[in-house]
Amino acid sequence: MDYEGGYCPAKMQKYDCLLFDLDDTLYPLNSGLATQCRKNIGDYMVEKLGIEESRISDMCNLLYKNYGTTMAGLRAIGYRFDYDEYHSFVHGRLPYGNLKPDFVLRNILLSIPIRKVIFTNADKIHATKVLRKLCLEDCFEGIICFETLNSPEENSASNYKPEDTKSYIFDIIDHSSRAQPNTELPAAPILCKPSESAMIRALEIAKIDLNRTIFFEDSIRNIQAGKRIGLDTVLVGNSQRVKGVDHALVSLHNMKEALPELWKEGERSGNVRYAEKIAIETPVIA
């Protein structure tokens, strides 16, 4: 895929990439997917990992807070499981039927003459399904997803023996209850947002220039991590600007009013990219 040609330095525009989170950014939070996803994660922890139901809520909150995703946290504290099985359990039963084609957003995205890429912590199957339901699958040049940063080899069955699944589990609830914990939290073997090093690595893989990219996200902590690594930021789903937020939009449908420069800049540079030429089936990445 050609990321080099097409622009003249003398006419260099401010942005040459629009980077979009997927869930609760391309569609509204009230679609019900996020709520069901949280429930499915809890069910997975009880059914597949044998964790007591009474501990699920506290554990999920602590793991999400400390590791970016519950999945990354579960691996960090010692649980071993197959990533694909986890993803299919957690995402497989989501109410995808609640997502409807969004032709307003589709027209907005296709009319912006700047390259667009998805950056999600979710797996590729989920990302592809969501984009298809929204009728946006051909609006993006590629998808940076779970598989981009986490190789299947590291998760292969040959890397651990079945008895390892019963190995030492770090008690994160006990750890958090201590005023002065005597141990550090274990490191996560999974890379994901909002880890700054993981984000930088992902953008390097996708050949994205941090200094010429604007990042659309609904998660404030991901936005703030993006800001720290040098991205310009747009908080989606909330009109309140806080630290780290350059722009805030209730919905991506308001992009044209809030960011008219995206249309002008792309045209001025002559760096017009028609995303519809590159199908999602040939992602940059993953």
Where does this chain bind Mg ion (CB under 5 A)? 21, 23-24, 218
Radius of gyration (C-alpha) of the chain in whole angstroms:
20
Nearer to Mg ion, 21 or 138 (CB): 21
In whole angstroms, what is the distance from residue 244 CA to residue 196 CA? 14
CB of 154 to Mg ion, least distance (A): 24
CB of 15 to Mg ion, least distance (A): 21
Angle between helices 196-205 and 220-228 (to 10 degrees): 70
In whole angstroms, what is the distance from residue 269 CA to residue 10 CA? 9
CB of 24 to Mg ion, least distance (A): 4
CB of 113 to Mg ion, least distance (A): 25
CB of 130 to Mg ion, least distance (A): 11
Cα 25 to the chain's mean position, in Å? 10
CA-wise closest residue to 72 among 171, 169, 189: 189
Strands 17-20 and 213-217: parallel
Nearer to Mg ion, 33 or 172 (CB): 33
In whole angstroms, what is the distance from residue 228 CA to residue 73 CA? 22
E strands, 125-217, are 142-144, 213-217
Nearer to Mg ion, 24 or 265 (CB): 24
Nearer to Mg ion, 221 or 256 (CB): 221
Nearer to Mg ion, 51 or 220 (CB): 220
